[in-house]
Amino acid sequence: MTATLTWQPTLPPSDLEQYGVAQAVVGGTKIALYAVDGEYFATADLCTHGAASLADGYLDGELIECPLHQGTFNVKTGAAVGAPCTIAVKTFPVKLEDGLLHVGMEG
C-alpha cells in the first residue's frame, strides 16, 4: 500500500536566503528546509549521530554539516556522507505553492 502525502505549508523561500537553511515545525515534527541551486529540499532536523539541529548547521552546496560533530549529510538524498555520521537522515518532498514551501508528510 502506498502512503498518501499530505502537503503542509511551512516557510516562504525568502527565509532560506541568508544561510540556505531554516527550521520549520510540521505537525509537531522539526524539519530542516534547504535551498540549493534554485531547488528546495527537506530533511528531519535532528542529526542521526548527535542531538543537534541540522538547521543550525553549515550548508555547503548540497551538504549540511552538523554543528555538533561536523558530520555531513546530503540534503537531496539524506545520505550520511561524512564521519562521524553513518545513518541517513529522513527526507521529505518539497514543493513551492502560493509563495510558501510545502512539505509532503505521510499520513
Per-residue pLDDT of the chain (107 residues; tens, 9 = 90+): 467 889 999 999 999 999 999 999 998 999 999 999 999 999 999 999 888 999 999 999 999 999 999 999 999 999 999 999 999 999 999 999 999 999 999 86
Q: Residue 16: what are its φ and ψ, rounded to 5°? A: -100, -5
**Residues shown for the chain:** 107
CA 105 to chain centre: 13
**pTM (predicted TM-score):** 0.93
First to last CA, the chain: 12
CATH number of 10-102: 3.40.50.150, 3.50.50.60, 2.60.40.10, 2.102.10.10?
2.102.10.10
- Secondary structure of 14-54 in HEC code, one letter for each residue: HHHCCCCEEEEEECCEEEEEEEECCEEEEEECECCCCCCEH
